[in-house]
Structure formats: C-alpha cells, structure tokens
Amino acid sequence: MRRGKVAVAAGCCLSFFLGTLLNVFFIPGFEPHQQQPPRRGVPPAFAGSPFYWPGADRESQRSELARQIRERYQELLRYQKRQAPAAAARRLVRPLERRLMDLAQPRTSSEQTLRLEKGKAPQADSRGGPYPEAKVDLALSPPLLGCRDIHNVTSLHYLGSGYTKAVYKVVLNRTLAVALKSVDFGGHDIENCVKQYAALDACYRLASYKIVKEMILLQRLQHANILQLYGYCYQDSNDIPDTLTAITELGSPLEMIQLLQTSWEDRFRICLSLVRLLHYLAHSPLGSVTLLDFRPRQFVIVDGELKVTDLDDASIEESSCTSNRDCFIEFPARNFTLPCSVEGRCRNMNEKRNLYNAYR
C-alpha cells in the first residue's frame, strides 16, 4: 500500500516537471533571449523607437521636419535683410581685423562661390521634400578667415558644448588663438531630432541654421561688448555635405566665484560693460533685441571686458498682445504693465526682459 502511494506521488511530480519543461520550450511565440528582427527599411536603432511611424506617417513626419527647416531659413532671411544705418556700414577696421586680414590667405574660387541669392525660393531636394539651400553666405566685409585658414591649426582644445553647438580653441599660424563653433552631433538638438525623424542630414541642417543665425547677429550687431565674428567655413564632414564651422573671437568663461575674487575696479568695469550692452541691445540697428537665454555661461571675458557670445536664442520680435493686460512683467521689487501698440506688440518688452534677467 505504501509503495503504491509513493509511486503515485512520484508520477505526479514527474508529470508536472515534464509539463513545465514542454511549456517552456514549445509554447507558441516564445523564443528565449531572441530579439525581434528590425522592420524592412528601418534602421535598427529606430526599429523599436516610440517616435517611429511607418508608411504614410513617416511621410508626414518628413514634411513636418521640412516645415521647421523652412521656417528657420525664413527667420535667417529676416535678420539678414534688415538694413543697417550708414554709420555702421562705414565702420573703421580695427587693428585686430587688420591682423586677421594679413593672416588670411587668398580665397579660392570655390570659397568665393558660397553665395545665396536673397529671396531665392527653396529648392526641392532629391528625397521629395522642399529644403532651402544648405549654404548661407554672410558676405563678410572685409573678408577675414575661411576654410584654408583653419586646415592647419595647432593646440586644439575642447572648451564645452550646449544643446546645439560644440566650441573648440585653436591657434592659427602659431600666433592667434580663436574659437571654432560647430554643430555638436552628440548634442541635445541633434540627438532628439534624429531619434524622432531618423534623418541625420536634415536634422543637421536644422541645427546648423542656429549657428548661421548667431553669425548673422554677430555680424550685424557691431559692439565692443559683443563677440567678434572672424569668418566661417563650409566643408564636407561625417558623410554630411556643407558642414559649418564659425570662427570667432576667443574669451575666458565668466566664472562667478572668480569674479567675486577680483578687485572692485575690475568688477565695476564688467558691470559697466553689461550696462553698455543692455543699452545697445535696446537701440540696435535691428531694433530692440532680447536675449532669451540670459545666463552667465552665455558671456565671456576678453581683456577685462564682458562680451556676449551666444546669440542663437536672441530675438527681435516683441511679445504679441491684444491689450495692455497682456504686457505684464513682474520684477522682484516692482511690476510693470507696458502699453500694447496698435500693431499688437508690447512696447519695450524686450528691453525690460533684458533688464530683469540681468538683475536676476
């Protein structure tokens, strides 16, 4: 009797074990540690992305990216077409600019053909989406530095990066230190755009237009407290044609702890530089300019003077409004309600916003 009970228990255990084993190996759809193959036509990196839409949705996403590129391109044209007063056009060449002209080598015909006709309609690219031109010529006068000047640089050092750009320090002809700005392929803008649209070349063009905008503003806003633009270069890199590098004046980062350790004369000089910059931005040749990203990291020190270096987030558009109540700005000690113009814009909002951010 006892032997029968033991045999029954052993049979139950054996049957349970065999059933579990069969379920593990032969249950439909179960493949241990096997990844799903990527869908045809989709890069493996984006096959499982929540931002990927197949078929017609992919076309709509491509159209959305093309729309963003066209809007940013039109913004560049608005900044570029604004006429500067005659006094700014007849600006005297500074000694440093004369030195740069001496360093610059004669331009080749290919470098001189980087011209973009103003008002030219965007061209359709080979993928069916209408994209503007990749190259935007700034017509720097006088011409300073270009591609041939940065091919043989020395002492290359990485300085830092933000959402869009990476900045490097180089030395030209072993004598002049400058800063090189280019799109950061590992930055926030490129990474998020590629993750959503899976189009590296178009995402690069969208990000590079922010550098072009900054270059246009650096060229148009000539002031002692705004970084100088020395030149730029378009060249093929990383399987992407016409990658852009901006060549600018080099400065030291604004460190708040180091600033507190300087003499009161130096701090007063920096404070005076900031006041002069704010006054110029309120009455610039382009109108009132506001710095939407007003932080210490956007400024550098050059020969004891404070200079703004990052202008890709600047804007010349005043806030829209329908009544004075829409033009309310709150300061720590006092609030302001600015008048709403007949054009539907808050008067002097950009100037007040700069003052508030400088105080903060």
Taking the C-alpha atoms of residue 94 and residue 105, their distance in angstroms, rounded to an integer, is 19
Other beta carbons within 10 angstroms of residue 294's beta carbon come to 18
Other beta carbons within 10 angstroms of residue 58's beta carbon come to 15
pLDDT in tens, 256-295: 888 888 899 999 999 999 999 999 999 999 999 999 988 8
In this structure, the strands spanning 153-161 and 123-124 are unpaired
pLDDT at residue 137 in the model: 66
CA angle 328, 331, 337 (to 5 degrees): 25
Taking the C-alpha atoms of residue 356 and residue 330, their distance in angstroms, rounded to an integer, is 9
The answer, yes or no, to whether the previous bond of 142 is cis (omega within 30 of 0) is: yes
* Distance (Å) of CA 158 to CA 161, 190, 310: 9, 19, 17
Query: What's CA 22's distance to the chain center, in Å?
Result: 57
Taking the C-alpha atoms of residue 348 and residue 359, their distance in angstroms, rounded to an integer, is 17
pLDDT in tens, 123-169: 444 344 456 766 776 666 655 888 888 888 888 999 999 899 999 99
Cβ contact 164:187 at 8 Å: yes
AA identity, residue 143: P
pLDDT at residue 334 in the model: 79
Which residues are registered as beta bridge partners of 252? 301
Taking the C-alpha atoms of residue 51 and residue 64, their distance in angstroms, rounded to an integer, is 13
Residue spans of alpha helices (H) in the chain: 2-26, 56-81, 86-89, 95-103, 109-112, 147-150, 188-197, 200-220, 256-260, 264-282, 349-359
pLDDT at residue 241 in the model: 85
Of the CA atoms within 13 Å of residue 25, those in its CB half-sphere come to 6
pLDDT at residue 279 in the model: 96
Strand, helix or coil for residue 150: helix
Show the low-confidence residues of the chain (pLDDT under 70): 1-56, 82-131, 133-134, 137-143, 238
Taking the C-alpha atoms of residue 278 and residue 42, their distance in angstroms, rounded to an integer, is 50
Cβ contact 319:339 at 8 Å: no
Residue keyed to tokens 């491509």: 62
The residues assigned a catalytic role are: 293
pLDDT at residue 143 in the model: 56
Cβ contact 258:287 at 8 Å: no
Task: Give the residue extent of every domain in the chain.
Answer: 56-84+93-251, 253-359
The size of the chain, in residues, is 360
Taking the C-alpha atoms of residue 114 and residue 92, their distance in angstroms, rounded to an integer, is 26
| φ and ψ of 126, to 5 deg | -70, -15
For the structural domain made of 56-84+93-251, what CATH number should be given? 3.30.200.20
